[in-house]
Amino acid sequence: MTRAPVSFTADAIGWTWHGCAASPRSRAVRHPLRTLILGLGAVVGGLCCLAFAAGFFLFVAALARQERSPDGRTDGIVALTGGAQRIGDAINLLAAGYGRRLLITGVNERTSREELARLNPTQRDLIACCVDLDYRARNTIGNAIETRRWMRMHHFNTVAVVTSNYHMPRTLIELDHALQDSDRIVPHPVVTDGFDADTWWHNPPTARLVASEYLKFLASWVRTRFETDPERSRAAILIGRRKPVKMVAEPLMRGVN
């Protein structure tokens, strides 16, 4: 004789399990809450994108369109390497009496004073007496550090800064952070040949350059809000332009302030 199979259910032994089953009311509550959170996230994300885009256009609009001489004289002049016209403009400012000495910071190790004089033969004597070359700086943060050291060594209070117009906003952030006084800085932006800030969207290389510089500008602004001294910057090492970068500026020799 074949026996019928015996089955057991929760109700058959007197209990039921409710732990994993969500009630219709709880599901109804969670669904609009999740929709609200996603909606708020989308709004915040949209506002952040809008602020980022608006900041970019303000950044481009603020770039100098033409060069002009500084409004007044300063104690020293600093030129940041990286653009073909920067050094020539800085030497011309020195020759015109806009500063007593010139620091060229971030110089390539293979570039000598003699090479500089050869490229500027009419200013050979001026280069010999009043131009200092810095080989220690590795990036813009290092440039700011070396500028501070140089100004302290010569007891300078004010400095004219020569760099490309697209690089000037980030340079001013780093110098203001290093010197802790923006009133001591007089910008002299160089308008590089071939760079047109008004038609950047028509030129892919220019668009990439401006976008890259804007991102670096934002990174510098955020970093300087949290750091107290650029010489102890860990983030600066990570964003160095040369690989590998172990420091943003080499330490000074003993006895030099």
Pair 167, 79: CB distance under 8 Å:
no
**Model pLDDT, residue 23:** 54
Q: For residue 66, name the pLDDT band (cuts at 50, 70, 90).
A: confident
> What does the pLDDT average to over 38-45?
76
What range does the domain containing 198 cover? 76-238
> What does the pLDDT average to over 201-219?
92
Strands 76-80 and 131-134: unpaired
Question: In this structure, what CATH number is given to the domain that contains residue 214?
Answer: 3.40.50.620
**Model pLDDT, residue 8:** 40
**Model pLDDT, residue 170:** 95
In the three-class reduction of DSSP (H, G, I as helix; E, B as strand; rest coil), residue 17 is classed as coil
More confident residue, 33 or 87: 87
> What does the pLDDT average to over 207-216?
93
H helix runs in 155-257, sequence order: 168-179, 204-226, 235-238
Nearest Cα to Cα of residue 22 among 14, 31, 13:
31
State how many domains the chain has.
1
**Model pLDDT, residue 74:** 94
- Least trusted range by pLDDT, from 64-73, 106-115, 130-139, 181-190: 64-73
For residues 135 and 133, give the distance between their C-alpha atoms in angstroms, rounded to a whole number: 7
Q: For residue 121, name the pLDDT band (cuts at 50, 70, 90).
A: confident
**Model pLDDT, residue 237:** 63
> What does the pLDDT average to over 37-41?
76
Is residue 254 in some structural domain? no
Is residue 10 in some structural domain? no
Q: For residue 13, name the pLDDT band (cuts at 50, 70, 90).
A: very low
**Model pLDDT, residue 230:** 86
**Model pLDDT, residue 250:** 43
Is residue 24 in some structural domain? no
Is residue 28 in some structural domain? no
Is residue 229 in some structural domain? yes
Is residue 106 in some structural domain? yes
Give residue-wise pLDDT tens across range 125-142: 999 999 999 999 888 999
Is residue 197 in some structural domain? yes
**Model pLDDT, residue 69:** 78
- Least trusted range by pLDDT, from 21-25, 130-134, 236-240: 21-25
CB atoms within 10 A of CB 170: 22
Pair 131, 113: CB distance under 8 Å:
yes
Q: For residue 30, name the pLDDT band (cuts at 50, 70, 90).
A: low
Is residue 98 in some structural domain? yes
**Model pLDDT, residue 208:** 92
